[in-house]
Amino acid sequence: MFIFSLSLFFSQESFSAEMGRVLPNGFGIASPSVTTLLHGYENPAGHANLSSLKLQLLGYSSENNYNPVEYSGGLFFGNGSLGAGVAGVGSAGTGVTDSDTDYLWGLGGNFSSIGFAIGINGNTSAGPNSETHTKWGFLFGGRSSFTFGVIVDSDDQGTYDIGGGFSFDLAPNVNFSLDALHYRSDTKVSYAGGLHIAGNVGELLLGYKIVDKDNEAETHFYSGVALTYWRSLSIEFLYNYLSKYCLGLTFKF
């Protein structure tokens, strides 16, 4: 009854490829967003859900006084079957000695006839020793009530972090997702499960993360809220997702 009441509060409308995907669920492996898509461990196959031109601004920090802070600005575009995004990432504040901007990019496509999407993200560092690390992602199920996602992410040592997850609808516009990540460089395993509620006025995210390293578990509650105005502007706040605090603005054209 509680879930049904919340889904009514957020209202229900026909979804475009982007609607209901402003916030990620879990790590974003089975339920990626259309905003923080180039960050963290989100599945780059989610680029296939982009169906408009958007400018997105992010600021995030792990400190209560927001110092230092990281920031990014990105441009995303797509037609609901094929999408791409590019962004620049920088940082400022106490202790920051590197003022170079890193560049993020991504591309994804959807094969709707078989319910399959594939995508790739890249992180290209600035400076004379520039390197590019890539991440591949795969999504099975399209916009059905059950989806399954896989990512393979390269790291600095040339090894690969592997992640997988699934999501399913508990009710109209109410989704549960569970993801797992294995970091090969330090044998760490992480799990994230969350409840995501979406509608035409906004989205709500509530979840829990477990990070297991050398048999020592760290647990974190994470949450998020997105509010949409005039269908062309959304404001996003995430807690304990990319960092402790994350604030985003997305302008849709």
- The share of the chain scoring above pLDDT 70, in percent, equals 85
Give the confidence band of 14 by pLDDT, cuts at 50, 70, 90: very low
Question: Pick the residue with more confidence: 24 or 97?
Answer: 24
Give residue-wise pLDDT tens across range 238-248: 999 888 899 99
pTM, 2 dp? 0.86
**Domain positions in the chain:** 2-252
Give residue-wise pLDDT tens across range 31-46: 999 888 888 889 999 9
Helix (H) / strand (E) containing 186: none
**Distance from the first to the final alpha carbon of the chain:** 37
Give residue-wise pLDDT tens across range 82-132: 999 999 988 887 666 666 678 999 999 999 888 899 999 998 877 677 788
Helix (H) / strand (E) containing 207: strand 202-213
pLDDT tops 70 at residue 6? no
How confident is the model at residue 29, as a pLDDT?
Answer: 95
Whose structure tokens read 């520039």? 130
118 touches 108 (CB < 8 A): yes
**Under CATH, which number does the domain 2-252 receive?**
2.40.160.60
